[in-house]
Every structure is written in structure tokens, then in C-alpha cells.
Structure 1
């Protein structure tokens, strides 16, 4: 299993380290898209959408981050409208557009699914490659199933670090057994060559074990949420049914985007969330708009996630309110997956830890293959030439 997973965890670890800070790296590589050009307050969401449609009439809004950090642009992901002359969707040169927040002027755009290593494409490509290996839905299934195997491998790896125990000696020699296991957590700086590699592989894996197991399980949960993980959790653990509070409120019928966002702000502020809405996801076929809230402007922040308010765009009624940390144990298990995987659960410190864990994961895969190869070569030697057994 370790050999099967070696290439996968190396790729996932290296791309995951980049994914932990993908927006910041992307902004450094593409300042002409990410940097605002004019001073002034950000336009309202509805005004931004009007400016977007005026400059890109062949598009309709899918998702927009309309409350960017100071000095950064507004990002909008768009879909093609249908060409009335042909009945087919327009062909778009770009589906990720960047607007100046103060004027709504279009700063530029790109294909969010472009390949591969140009300045524009490399960070979105690596982020997408992290969870699909470039194979779309098929790749997502592959990554999810490999993550499940990785979770099992983490548990097996932990068991292999435990010293052997004779059943009759468990109680009498528990302290001695613990001292034996404590040695597995240390790296002997006096060792050289293969034995140092073995110490590094075992000790680094132990110190990061809980983080790595959580990343493996959450990788499975994120990749295969709806087909596998969500049904498993709801079957095994209690979950709360989505409910709308009786005093949720209603925007006026057929509300514009500003009215939708204002209602969402009112509801979430009432429940103690201190920051205004930062993004909206439009579902025109279902006549719904989901308004997202972040910890601070443009940032995912810290903790279990973000509040989300979903509103009917025809009637103005609230369809659903989701607050992080709410619900029952099954809801909390599902809520924690992305925050753990991304490091968001601990804010900046968590993202740094996940980035370092990604690099360590790649190192563990390399040292694991080295250990396997060394043992394989030793087993093939004549008995008289064998090295002393490993500690």
C-alpha cells in the first residue's frame, strides 16, 4: 500500500503546500489582475454586477467575491449566456474576471481551468490538480479512494512504530514498553546514512501523525462528499435537519442583489457574526442565491467555516441559514473537514502547519521508498552478507 501511495502522497503533499497559500501566491504572480487601481469605497454588489454585465454582456454571474481585502480587486466567476441567434451558449475567452472595486472597471480575465504553467494558469492549475490530478470527476474519485487508503496506511504506520509486547508482561512492564516507544519519537543525530533516514521517517511521521491522518480523512471527505462521505456520516451519526428560524425575515418580492445581501447581513449579525457578507453564489435554475460570510474581508479566517444564507431570488424568502458550529455531532464532523484539510481551523498558524505537513508528507514518501528498497536489497543478499537487523 505504501508503494502504491508513494507517488500520490508526494504529489498531494507538494501541491497541498502551495494550495494552503494559493490566493496569496497567485496575487504575487498576477498583480495586474489582483491589485485595485483606483482609490475609493467598493461599489455595492448589485452595482458591480451591473458594471460586469455592461462590459461582458455574453456572461451571467456564477460566483462573486464582492468584499475584497483593501487594495485588491473583486473576483467574479461567470457562465456563458445563450446566444439567441443560435440557441447555443456563447464561447467565452475568460470565465474568471477581475473588477476594480471602486469603479467596476474590468481589469482582465482568464480561464480558471486553463493549463498549465504560465503565470496566469499555474496556481489555479496546481490547485485543481491537487484534488483531480487533471482528470475531472474521474480524478476526483481516484483522489478520494487513494485518500481512504492513505487513512488506513496512517493507522498501519502508527502500529508499526509500537514495540512488541508479550501478553504476560503488559501490566508488569508497561513503563518499560512506553520507554521503548519513546525512542521511536527521537532522531539520533549520531546516526548516519540509512539509519538516520529510518529515524527521520519514523519520528517525523509520529510527530505529525494526527495532522496527517486528519488530512487523509478530510481528503476523502472533500473529494467524495456527496457520493460517499455525506451518506456515511448521516447514516452513522445524528445530524440536524436544515431549518429556517421563524423570524428569518423576507426581502421584498423579486429582490435585487443588494436587498438579498442586506437581508443576509441582518440575519447573520443577529446571531453574533461581526463581519458583513463577502461573496454570493447564484443558482438561476433553482432561483436561489447563497450569500457567504468570511472571518474578515476576503479571508476564510479561523474556525469551522463560514455562515451561509440561501435566499429565493423570486420571493425574497430565506430558504436556509447555516452557522458554523451549529447542529449535532454529524454536522460538526462534516463541518470540520475542509477547515482541517486547509489549515483554516487554526487560521494562519494552521495554514503554515498544513504547508509544512505537505512538504513532510512528500519527504515521508521518499524515505519510505528508500527504506523499502534497502530492505529488499538486504533480503536478496546471502545470509552471511546481511547487515545487522534494524532497531
Structure 2
């Protein structure tokens, strides 16, 4: 049975190698994606106040100004928390009848509303200005669109299962390890004594043993992080598998059950973005938390958008229910006609499945514990590449050994020494 799982681990690893190398290398860089993007494109990101007394403009006023300049655009998502030294990044899209728009991202000076630049996110032919967005697309979908997203989701699912197979294969043979043990504690001690070498690297042994130890011990030392990266990747790319699987044991909030979608998408809501924001702030400041058992406090703004297919505004902010230090995932939904708050999504504390998913996603994105954890996640990406490469080397060496063994003469001929000239 163990040999069967060895074969499964071997061929699962070989099938994933290229994908995990790409994901590991790009992921180790994308941990610092915002900082690197700003360094590569200072003309798009860097701003300074025109005077000491200058104040940041209301992002919704910038939205209106931008629509006046580009009336053919749709601007659904708008960030509500501009930074004093950072351009306001706004994602846009053309109307369906206008597909010739050459950009989908606009960078605006938050003090003046001036457009600093535009780009088509992820188009690598534009050069360094799209290097980080292209790496992002390469990371989660191999820059292959929806097919790539699905493919990487399948790979992540195989990777998740293989995490457990790989960990199992590092365990010693239980029968041999415990055959002389008399009590349960003795069995545990014997088991650990035999398993302990799997956590060590024999640095001064042969290259084969060093490669094998790096593969085995490296996988054990960062196993928990590898599992987090793998299963959260399934959550990102293969929700049709992740959600039902997690739903077997955990509960999830379903805010959309409170929506009453119109028969046709409602592109022009009765209330404006500013009015919807006022509804959200009044709801939060007025402590009218009738949708939750406990009050929810807003710590920081995040942004808002409008969903015409549901006729609702989506107001997003960071609350005490968030774990991400920079990005709020608490969401409020407001009816675009009546202005009524119809649903509230809490990232933690409301449903166990959402709490676990929030932590998985936040750990994947290195959104907690500051710079030390970002460095750890980045190093984990590099170690993932190392594990993939060492796994291929192990397979190649064993395959070469089997081929050499198959070419050796058998029977009596194997004992005949070749004559020397």
C-alpha cells in the first residue's frame, strides 16, 4: 500500500512541477506587488501635495470628474481611502458597444483629479509598466484567461491532496516502530524517534542524500504553509469545489438570498454613490445593527461598487471583524432604489466557513503580521520551487538506476568478466 502512495506522490508531483515552479516564483515576488509596481512605475503612482494646506479630494468627486472626461467609461468600483503619497487607482471598463478602449486602469492625482496615466492591466507588451500585473495573471491563471484559472484550480486541488500523501510518506513504518513498545507513551516516543531523522538534512552526505533530505525535510518544515497556499488556491480558482467541500463541515453566510434581483439589469439606480455611502455611514454611526447580533464598527474605508444585475450597492470597509491589516472584507449591501441596507457580510465571527476562508485568503496574501510574515511567505514560494525541482531530481535518478539495472546481463553471463585487450 505504501508503494502505491509513493507512485501517486511521484506522478502527482511530476504533473504539477511546471505549474508549481511558476506559482512559487511569481508568488514570492507578488508578496511585494504593490511596492514593486510603484517602484517600477513612479510616474503612475507617486504624487505630492501641491501645497502644505492641500487636502485630498473626495474619491466620489474624482469619479464624477473622470466620467465627465471619459463619458464612455463604466466606473463601478471606486476606492474610498486615497493615500497622501499615492495616486488613486481606478479600474474602469468600456460599455459593451465600445470595445476599442485601450485601457482599463486609470491613475489619478488625489489632490487635483488630474489623470497621471492609464494602462491595460496585465498587457506585457507594454513593457515594465505591466510587469507586476502580468506576473499576477501568470500566477493564478498562467495568463490564459478563464481556462488558465480552471487549470490552476485543478492543480491546486491535486496539490492539496498531495500535501497529505507527502506527509504520510515521511512517517516511519508503524509496525516496526512500535513492535517493542509496551505503553502508549512508549509508542509515541518510538514513533518520534524514528520520524525525527525525516526532519533533518544530512549536509555532508552524498548529493543524492542531500537532495532527498531537502525534499523530505523541506516539505515537513513548511508543510502547514504549503497546505494553506494549496487549499486557498482552490478557494480562489475552484470555488465550485471549495465551497461544497467546506460546506460539509462548516457554515457560510449567503447574503445574496436577501437580494431581489430586477427582471432586467438596472444600470441607473435611484440613489447615487454619494447617497449610498451616506446610508452606510448613517447605518454604522447610528448603531442600528439590526442585521447582526453585535454592533459593527468601521475602522477604515475600502471602497464601493454597484451591481446592476442585482440593483444593489456594495459598500466595503474594514471592521473589527477583519483580520487583514490593510484590506477590509466586511461588506454592506444597499438597495439602489430604496436605500435600505439589505445585507451585511462579516468576514469572521458570523459563520465558521467564512472565518476559516478569510484566514486562508489573508495568509495566502500575506495580509497579517507585517513584514516578517511577508518575507516568510516569499521564502515559502522559493522553497516550493526547491521542493518541485528536488522531486524531479529524485525521480530522474531512480529512473536512470532502473534503466541501468534493466540493461545489466542476467544469470551466468553476469558472472563472466570481460577479457582485457
User: TM-score, normalising length from structure 1?
Assistant: 0.86
1:120 aligns to what SS in structure 2? helix
- State which of 323, 337, 349 in structure 1 corresponds to 2:372: 349
Cα displacement (A) at 1:378: 2.0
- State which of 52, 57, 60 in structure 1 corresponds to 2:66: 52
**Cα pair distance change 1:171/1:230, threshold 3 Å:** same
Measured in 2, the distance between the counterparts of 1:265 and 1:117 equals: 41
Measured in 1, the distance between the counterparts of 2:282 and 2:300 equals: 9
Preserved contact between residue 301 and residue 318 of structure 2 (Cα < 8 Å):
yes
Give structure 2 stretches of 5+ with no counterpart.
1-11, 259-268, 288-294, 409-421
The question of 1:161 aligning with 2:170 is answered yes
- State which of 259, 279, 282 in structure 1 corresponds to 2:275: 259
Measured in 1, the distance between the counterparts of 2:126 and 2:92 equals: 23
- State which of 284, 297, 313 in structure 2 corresponds to 1:289: 313
**Corresponding residue for residue 80 of structure 1:** 94
**Corresponding residue for residue 26 of structure 2:** 15
Measured in 2, the distance between the counterparts of 1:126 and 1:132 equals: 10
2:124 aligns to what SS in structure 1? coil
Preserved contact between residue 16 and residue 155 of structure 2 (Cα < 8 Å):
yes
Measured in 1, the distance between the counterparts of 2:282 and 2:344 equals: 12
Cα displacement (A) at 1:188: 2.5
Cα displacement (A) at 1:264: 2.5
Measured in 1, the distance between the counterparts of 2:74 and 2:365 equals: 30
Deviations 1:82-124 (A, max 9, x none): 6xxxxx2252121100111111111111001413571111111
- State which of 120, 131, 137 in structure 2 corresponds to 1:111: 120
Deviations 1:151-172 (A, max 9, x none): 1111111111111121661744
Measured in 1, the distance between the counterparts of 2:194 and 2:248 equals: 41
Preserved contact between residue 239 and residue 328 of structure 1 (Cα < 8 Å):
yes
Cα displacement (A) at 1:185: 0.9
Measured in 2, the distance between the counterparts of 1:164 and 1:228 equals: 33
RMSD: 2.9
Stretches (4+) displaced over 6 A: none
Cα displacement (A) at 1:201: 1.4
Cα displacement (A) at 1:5: 0.8
Cα displacement (A) at 1:355: 1.3
Measured in 2, the distance between the counterparts of 1:116 and 1:305 equals: 33
Cα displacement (A) at 1:366: 0.7
The question of 1:33 aligning with 2:44 is answered yes
The question of 1:308 aligning with 2:331 is answered yes
Measured in 2, the distance between the counterparts of 1:324 and 1:344 equals: 14
Give structure 1 stretches of 5+ with no counterpart.
83-87, 246-252, 386-391
Deviations 1:337-374 (A, max 9, x none): 32132122444433322211111101110111111111
Preserved contact between residue 304 and residue 345 of structure 1 (Cα < 8 Å):
no
Cα displacement (A) at 1:268: 4.6
Segment of structure 1 superposing worse, 282-291 or 166-175: 166-175
Cα displacement (A) at 1:241: 4.7
1:344 aligns to what SS in structure 2? coil
Cα displacement (A) at 1:331: 2.6
Measured in 2, the distance between the counterparts of 1:321 and 1:99 equals: 30
Measured in 1, the distance between the counterparts of 2:36 and 2:323 equals: 16
- State which of 317, 321, 324 in structure 1 corresponds to 2:344: 321
**Corresponding residue for residue 243 of structure 2:** 230
**Cα pair distance change 1:53/1:266, threshold 3 Å:** same
- State which of 178, 186, 191 in structure 1 corresponds to 2:192: 178
Measured in 2, the distance between the counterparts of 1:275 and 1:244 equals: 27
Measured in 1, the distance between the counterparts of 2:328 and 2:228 equals: 16
Cα displacement (A) at 1:7: 0.8
Q: Which has the larger radius of gyration?
A: 2
**Cα pair distance change 1:66/1:197, threshold 3 Å:** same
**Cα pair distance change 1:194/1:300, threshold 3 Å:** same
Preserved contact between residue 59 and residue 79 of structure 2 (Cα < 8 Å):
no
Measured in 2, the distance between the counterparts of 1:48 and 1:192 equals: 64
- State which of 382, 402, 410 in structure 2 corresponds to 1:359: 382
- State which of 88, 99, 104 in structure 2 corresponds to 1:95: 104
